Amino acid sequence: MLCLRMNLDIWEIIDAAATKPFGFHPFYPGPGLGGHCIPVDPFYLSWKAKEFDFRTKFIELAGEVNVAMPYHVIAATISALNKHQKAINGSKVLVLGVAYKKDIDDLRESPALTIIELLQKEGATVSYNDPYFPFVGRGRKYDLQMKCAPLDNLGKYDCVLIVTDHTDYDYKKIVNDSKLVVDSRNATRGIKSDKIVRC
């Protein structure tokens, strides 16, 4: 988020750092964390540490940042739509990918579910596409009751929001056929288009 504010390309920075021949492992930004481990398990340790009058500030701070990421994606989507003279309220938004990471069929703690709910609260008409989920019903924290939308008429959406970067997607075609693409995973890397907003 700091790089966005400074008008720096975080993906270019990570690529440059990755040229170091040793001692570097890349970590990539995204719309938030999901799964059954990282968003949950560290907080067990944090809770236990409090019994010993010990604060695990770094765990709690990381959790705060990760919980805030879907809200950052919503703000970026609202800004991108505004630049196209569209309000989020009443806009048609297609969320690409609902799994918590690419190429899996796991929804646990997926940031896409929060993003869909936040878009709906803002008044957007939300659809989703994910080749691993023909239907998203009810879970522990969500109740969406949505069917997977086809990718055959992307021009009917005011915005296509990439949340999970499945390798099955043809990103060039998606950008070509869409009015606006907000990319939270850098899935459109290498595609040049003024339709793309990376967040």
pLDDT band per the 50, 70, 90 thresholds, residue 29: confident
**Between residues 94 and 5, which one has the greater pLDDT?**
94
| Residue 130 pLDDT | 98
Total tally of structural domains belonging to the chain: 1
Catalytic residue (one of 3, 37, 159, 199): 37
- 76 lies in a domain? yes
DSSP state of 159: E
Indicate which CATH number applies to the domain containing 180. Answer: 3.40.50.720
Domain that holds residue 179: 69-198
Mean pLDDT of 54-79: 92
- 89 lies in a domain? yes
Sign for the pseudo-dihedral over CA of 135, 137, 97, 106: negative
Provide the β-strand partners of residue 30. none
Does residue 37 carry a catalytic annotation?
yes
- 40 lies in a domain? no
- 58 lies in a domain? no
| Residue 16 pLDDT | 93
Helix ranges (DSSP H) in the chain: 2-5, 10-17, 41-50, 57-83, 111-121, 171-177
Q: Is the pLDDT of residue 143 over 80?
A: yes
Pairing of strands 125-129, 143-147: unpaired
C-alpha 182/C-alpha 159 separation (Å) is 7
Query: Would you say 48 and 144 are in contact if contact means Cβ atoms under 8 Å apart?
Result: no
